[in-house]
Amino acid sequence: MTETAEREKLIEVKNLKKYFKVGKKAILKAVDDVSFHIYRGETFGLVGESGCGKSTTGRTIIRLYEATDGEVLFEGKNVHAKMSRKELKEFNKKMQMIFQDPYASLNPRMTVKDIIAEGIDIHGLAKSKKERDEKVYELLETVGLNKEHANRFPHEFSGGQRQRIGIARALAVDPDFIIADEPISALDVSIQAQVVNLLQKLQKERGLTYLFIAHDLSMVKHISDRVGVMYLGNMVEVAESDELYDNPLHPYTEALLSAIPVPDPNYERSRERIILKGDVPSPVNPPSGCRFRTRCPLATDICAQVAPKLREAREGHWVACHLYDDEYKHAFNK
C-alpha cells in the first residue's frame, strides 16, 4: 500500500522496555526493546503465546505500568512524560481499555449505570442527572443492550453481555484509541462472533483505533489490518494481516500458523505441521542472541551470538531474523 506512508501515526512505540523485579536479583524482561506504530483508524493485532509480553505491552502503552525505558508517543506526545493532573485526565479520556475477564473487570457492587457513567462523572461530561442517564441509555443501546439493564448488577448478566458492558464503559468518554486485551477469549464461539462484529461496527461508526491483543490467530487475522507477532518480549514480525498469513517470514510465525487447527477435516488430513519442540524459555533468563533459537528448526551458530534486528524485508513487512539479513544469510546455506 502506497498510502501508508502518508497515514497519520496515532501511536508510536519506540524501544519500549518493561522489566519487573522478581526475587532479590533476578529481572524479568517482559518487554524488551519493542518498537511499532499504529495508524489512526486501523486495528493493530498483537499475537503471541502466554508470557510473550503482549499484555504488558498494552498495559504499558496505556500507562498502567511505568515504562522501564523507551517511549510511547500518542499524537506525538510522550505518554510516560511527567504530566499534571489535568493533562493526565485529558490523556485518560483519549485512551481506554477493554479487559479479558468480564467477570473480574466489573465492580460487583455497582449498578451497570454507575459502572458506565464513572468516566462521564470523572470527566464531567454530563451537566445534569438526566443527561447522564440519557448518555448511559444511548451507550447501552449502542452495544446491543437496552435501558432496562441500567439498574441491574453485573452478576445478572452472561459473559457476552458483561463484555458489552465493558465496551460501553470504554466508549463512555468518547475515546480515540481502545486497547482490547483478549476481549473474547473467555467467551463461547457463537458469542465471540457477536462481540467482534460489535467492535468492528463501532470502529466504522466512530473512527476508533484499536490495539487488539489475543492469542487466537484466526480471530486476530479477521479483525486486524496489521499484525505484530511477539516472542519472549521481542517483536519478531510485523506486516499487514493478509501478507503475514500468506507469506510468514519468521520461522516462529510460520510454526505458529502451522500449529493452528483449521475447521476443515480434509485440510487437516493433508497438512504438514511444523511442531516446535519444547517450551518457551523463561523470560528471567532468556537465550542469548535470537530468543527463538532454542526452538528454531533453522538456528545456526550466528543466532546464538547476535540478536537479530527488526528490518524491512519487503515493503511494509518487517522481520527480526538473520535469514533475511544480507550480512548473515550465507550462514543458513539456503
The residue ranges that bind another protein (CB under 8 A) are 49-50, 158, 160-161, 188-194, 196-197, 200, 215, 217-219, 221-222, 242, 245, 255-268, 273, 275-276, 279-280
Q: Which is nearer to another protein, 64 or 274 (CB)?
A: 274
Q: Which is nearer to another protein, 39 or 231 (CB)?
A: 231
For 316, list phi and psi in degrees, rounded to 5.
75, 5
Nearest approach, Cβ of residue 140 and another protein (Å): 17
Provide the grid cell at 332.
543458513
Q: Which is nearer to another protein, 1 or 260 (CB)?
A: 260
Q: Which is nearer to another protein, 87 or 267 (CB)?
A: 267
Nearest approach, Cβ of residue 16 and another protein (Å): 23
* β partners of residue 97: 179
Contacts of residue 258, Cβ cutoff 8 Å, sequence gap at least 6: 271, 272, 273, 274
Nearest approach, Cβ of residue 149 and another protein (Å): 13
Q: Which is nearer to another protein, 107 or 197 (CB)?
A: 197
Q: Which is nearer to another protein, 75 or 254 (CB)?
A: 254
Nearest approach, Cβ of residue 288 and another protein (Å): 21
